[in-house]
Amino acid sequence: MNFECLPNELLLDILKYLTGIDLFRVFHGLNKRFNDLLSLHFQHYGLDFQPISKQDFEIICKQYLLSMVHEITSLRLSDDDDTPQQTTLFLSYGFTLNQFTHLQSLSLCHLRSDEIIDKILTKLYYLTHLSLSECYCPHDQKNVANIINTIWSLPRLTHCWLDITIENTDYFITPSIISFSLTHVSIKSLFCNLKELASLFHFTPGLQYLHVGIIERSNDFRLPMVVSSIRSLNLSRVDSRHVITTLLQHMPNLRSLTVVTEDVYIDGYQWQQIISDYLPAIEIFRFRMGFRSYNNNEKEQEVIRLLNSFRGPFWFVEHQWFVRCHWNPTEGYDRIYVYTLPYIFEDFPFLFLNKGIQFESTCPDDDAYLSYDHTRHLCYYSYLLFNNALFRIRFSNLHHLSVELPLSDCFRAIFPKLNHLISLDVWSCDDCDNTFVQSQLQMLLDWIPYLTKLSFVSWPNSFYHWPFVRTKNRSIDRLEFEAPGGSGYSQVFNDELCAKLISSSLGTQCQTLVIRVKNRTNIMDLINSMNNLRAMSVRCEEEDDNDDDEIIEWLRSRLPLTCTITRDIRFSKQIRLWISRIL
């Protein structure tokens, strides 16, 4: 059958499986029908520049994007290590986002400049959804306040996700401009106290959903208003029962409550009292509470008392809410966790153990709720070897896993499939058999069919003198041998180790590399010999004491002008390269 004879609905289904550059190269300008189909596609799916090669990014921006600015409804820009300085390059082509007259959703990822963030957000009159993900603001709080006010000034913005880090503060800077459009706000990586939260409520009077962490040092502050608009509240961190009760008694229309606490003890009787007194409209209640047991001899009895407080008619009959505890009975391990079922949190707090975790729940069926499908991030330690209780729990939807090698015998029982895993951190200790660890690593990589990022967190020096692991997994395109900012242990790659990496299967297919090298010539060797490499974040050991940019000028004189070379604003010893193979 002729491709053009297919109905539009089927063609649109096919287009969604192609990359942006392939869509433009193959179909743009072919005829009016395909131009119209491209318009429909980008109206529905938008344009995602994370990740993309520098060559493809430049081709789209220079040849195609201007003709499509009125069709794009969503856009993602990223300055991550695989696309460094992408946003600056985007602006250098003369684009401003107010040209995108139908832009409704904007995601900015890993930006490291508050000035650029503020510049991008100006005059986005039609924007309804905004996400700032893992962005860093290096300057004073006044600049950040301007960004927040710019966001709160966007006239149609309804949903805002803020995952930003601000230099010299852990606290969110509240707006001083009222937004009448915002209904959903999520604040990650920064905290509020109750005074700041009251200010946020004042300047966001239509707020219905809030995700925030709260750190409050005073027990005297009271919210000055009833927040009747709030329907859903997610407290990602709260450090006192006072904060919880102070908030909830001012939210009479709350229907969904999610709470994560550490070292705050609230039993079932106390939760029942809080909910009965303050939350008449509650429908969904989810929590995870971690606390310390101070008497190891009575730990099990303490768990039984806690679970019994969640067994009354209020929990079983009125709401059908069930909870589960897990704890370590071994002396010296004093953490106890209790949480609602099903488990809905993205991370799971494994205890630091050398013996088994014990589980107990209030659910009548012990085999219910054993699939922790919402868990995305997990650290797994090999000394969970005797953890028989974990054989029954399944983590079937992990995206990121940190694991210590060698693996314990129960690993495959807990993780029978890792089909959704895309990021893996691995480490090992000095006294392990390198041959065995290598074989286990190779086996582990072959188990994970869609893995894209592999990070070597901490390894003994002797490991690097062995040949790099060979794997059948062709999806791995990002290798990290250096922790963010150089934190933790990092292996320095000299001439010998660079040569081994270049000749390995992992090195051959690598597209993004985060690494520490001995000298500047190692950088050139890696770029010239790793033909698929398109981005690198590198720290040069011999240049650690030099604060000038002489090494950057040295690299620029040896690489094509199309390559972008900059020093990382946040981690100044890191040099980031976005490599273009076009000469």
Model confidence over 475-509: pLDDT tens digits?
999 999 987 765 566 788 999 999 999 999 999 99
Q: Rounded to the nearest 5°, which phi and psi values hold at 233?
A: -130, 125
Q: How many CB atoms lie within 10 A of CB 13?
A: 11
What's the pLDDT band for 382 if we cut at 50, 70, 90? low
CA–chain centroid gap for 363, Å, is 32
Q: Is the pLDDT of residue 50 over 80?
A: yes
Q: Are strands 159-166 and 129-137 parallel, antiparallel or unpaired?
A: parallel
Alpha-carbon distance of 542 to 203, in angstroms, equals 51
Q: Is the pLDDT of residue 220 over 80?
A: no
What's the pLDDT band for 121 if we cut at 50, 70, 90? very high
Q: Is 222 helix (H, G, I), strand (E, B) or coil?
A: coil
What's the pLDDT band for 351 if we cut at 50, 70, 90? low
Residue 262 forms beta bridges with which residues?
290
What's the pLDDT band for 354 if we cut at 50, 70, 90? very low
CB 334 within 8 A of CB 294: yes
- Per-residue DSSP letter, 347: B
Q: How many CB atoms lie within 10 A of CB 252?
A: 14
Listed range (98-107, 196-205, 373-382) with the worst mean pLDDT: 373-382
What's the pLDDT band for 564 if we cut at 50, 70, 90? very high
Q: Is 580 helix (H, G, I), strand (E, B) or coil?
A: coil
Which tens digits make up the pLDDT trace of 270-317? 999 999 999 999 999 999 999 988 777 788 899 999 999 999 999 999
Better-predicted residue by pLDDT, 324 or 482? 324
Q: Is the pLDDT of residue 583 over 50?
A: no
Residue 557: exposed, middle, or buried by beta-carbon count in 10 A (0-12, 13-18, 19+)? exposed
Q: What would the mean pLDDT of 336-359 be, rounded to a whole number?
A: 81
Alpha-carbon distance of 517 to 540, in angstroms, equals 5
CA distances from residue 552 to 90, 480, 516, 522, 571 in whole angstroms, order as listed: 22, 21, 16, 14, 15
Helical spans, DSSP H, in 159-279? 194-203, 241-248, 268-278
Q: Is the pLDDT of residue 346 over 80?
A: yes
pLDDT at 463: 66
Alpha-carbon distance of 239 to 418, in angstroms, equals 35
For residue 51, cis peptide bond before it (omega within 30 degrees of 0):
yes
Which tens digits make up the pLDDT trace of 386-443? 445 556 788 889 999 998 888 877 788 778 889 999 999 998 876 677 778 888 888 8
Which tens digits make up the pLDDT trace of 430-476? 667 777 888 888 889 989 999 999 998 877 666 666 667 778 888 99
User: In this prediction, what percent of the chain has a pLDDT beyond 90?
Assistant: 60
Nearest CA to 549 among 533, 532, 566, 564?
Answer: 566
pLDDT at 5: 77
Better-predicted residue by pLDDT, 350 or 507? 507
Alpha-carbon distance of 172 to 461, in angstroms, equals 42
Q: Is the pLDDT of residue 33 over 50?
A: yes
Alpha-carbon distance of 441 to 435, in angstroms, equals 10
Q: Is the pLDDT of residue 218 over 90?
A: no
Alpha-carbon distance of 570 to 565, in angstroms, equals 15
Residue 359 forms beta bridges with which residues?
326
What's this model's pTM, rounded to 2 decimal places? 0.92
Alpha-carbon distance of 573 to 570, in angstroms, equals 9
- Tokens for 216? 């409050």
Nearest CA to 78 among 120, 129, 41?
Answer: 120
Alpha-carbon distance of 201 to 217, in angstroms, equals 20
- Tokens for 238? 């709260």
What's the pLDDT band for 356 if we cut at 50, 70, 90? low
Alpha-carbon distance of 127 to 410, in angstroms, equals 49
